[in-house]
Amino acid sequence: PERVANADGAREFLESYARGDDGRVVVAGAFDGDEIVGGALLLHHEPDTAAIELGCWAISGAQGMGVARAACEALIRYARRELAVERVAWRCTTANARSRALAERLGFRHEGTLRSEFMSVRSAQCEDGASPQPSGRISATIRPFGPLP
In tens, the pLDDT along 119-148 reads: 444 434 434 444 444 444 555 556 556 554
Average of per-residue pLDDT values in the chain: 74
SS3 67: helix
How many angstroms separate the Cα of 137 from the Cα of each of 43, 55, 58? 19, 16, 22
pLDDT of the residue at 74: 92
Residue pLDDT, tens place only, 67-94: 889 999 999 999 999 999 989 998 888 8
SS3 110: strand
Say what the pTM is.
Answer: 0.69
